[in-house]
Amino acid sequence: MYVATLLTNPAAPNLDPYLVESMRNAWGGGEIQWLSPDEAAEFTLPNIPKNLWDVWGDLQPMGVDLVAQPAEGRRKKMLLADMDSTMIQQECIDELADEAGVGDRVKDITARAMNGELDFEGALTERVGLLKGLDEAVIGKVLDERITLMPGGKELVATMRANGGYAALVSGGFTAFTAKVAEVLGFDENRANTLLAEDGKLTGDVQRPILGRQAKVDALEQITARLGLAEADVLAVGDGANDLGMLHRAGTGVALHAKPTVAEQCEVRVNHGDLTALLYVQGYNRSEFVSE
């Protein structure tokens, strides 16, 4: 048995009941379950429709996301999440670069790296090198003034943990940011790169080894082994090319507002919903959401 989930942006919910019913009828689906009025609905399917991606493409201009997956085992026991442009709305290194006066140069490298055009490790060391001499105190300023959480993050983490899940934040960014974001959102652990500093100034380098694409896969393997979980028990979410390894290995890998070259390699794509979409995809009703 399979299940189809339709989602919209909760800030402007516009899921048309007629649209949901028409799709259910066309695909021979089961009874429609509304997970949240005007925002999210699902119905069972006898199989994955052959025209799934054609329909997905038709729904995108309407602001509707569509996910079809096996019904069994979709409620996961572990969340493995990227941070930049996933759990927060910014790329931390870009914000630091703005403060250092090299924002445009760094943002271009970041965009190309996240799109898979550049080697992640090389791109990171090049960008960090441009931060050399920046006052270490600027990190706190950026955290306070520039970093905003992605909507739905607190509900995602809190709801999964309230239902026995484990949450790990794994970033190619920096521990100075993941530690704070993990604390605010309630993650059980966080992993990232460490910016090096001397005499209160950034040295323009990071501690080795550099955590990139493979480090996220390593985290998936290590944490599941430690907790006695299967990789199928994991819900992973990210947006960049360095997330693809963990997205492909996890039981459910979600490309969230991802770069097109990344999204097209993932079976679950959320372009319109926020992080609560990851709860709907698991079959949670909005009445089951936990916010703290």
- Mean pLDDT along residues 162-167: 98
Count CB neighbours of 142 within 10 A: 20
Catalytic residue among 58, 65, 82, 108: 82
Catalytic residue among 16, 54, 84, 104: 84
Please give the Cα distance from 191 to 197 (Å, whole number).
Answer: 19
82 part of the active site: yes
Domain with CATH 3.30.70.260 in the chain: 1-72
Domain with CATH 3.40.50.1000 in the chain: 75-90+148-292
Residues 6+ apart with CB under 8 A from 140: none
Q: How many residues does the chain have?
A: 292
- Mean pLDDT along residues 162-166: 98
pLDDT(116) > 90: no
Q: Give the β-pairing of 78-81 and 166-174.
A: parallel
Question: What confidence score (pLDDT) does residue 121 get?
Answer: 87
Question: Per CATH, which fold does 75-90+148-292 belong to?
Answer: Rossmann fold (3.40.50)
Q: Token pair for residue 27?
A: 């695909």
Please give the Cα distance from 236 to 234 (Å, whole number).
Answer: 6
Residues 6+ apart with CB under 8 A from 191: 168, 169, 170, 171, 178, 211, 215, 219
Tell me the percentage of the chain whose pLDDT exceeds 70.
Answer: 100
Question: What confidence score (pLDDT) does residue 198 get?
Answer: 96
Q: 1-72, which class in CATH? A: alpha beta
CA dihedral 29, 31, 35, 39 (to 10 degrees): 60
User: pTM of the full predicted structure?
Assistant: 0.95
- Mean pLDDT along residues 107-127: 87
65 part of the active site: no
**Each residue of 178-218: pLDDT tens digit?**
999 999 999 999 999 999 999 999 999 999 998 888 999 99
From the list 181, 198, 199, 200, the residue with the least C-alpha distance to 189 is 181
From the list 96, 124, 137, 128, the residue with the least C-alpha distance to 205 is 128
Question: What confidence score (pLDDT) does residue 120 get?
Answer: 85
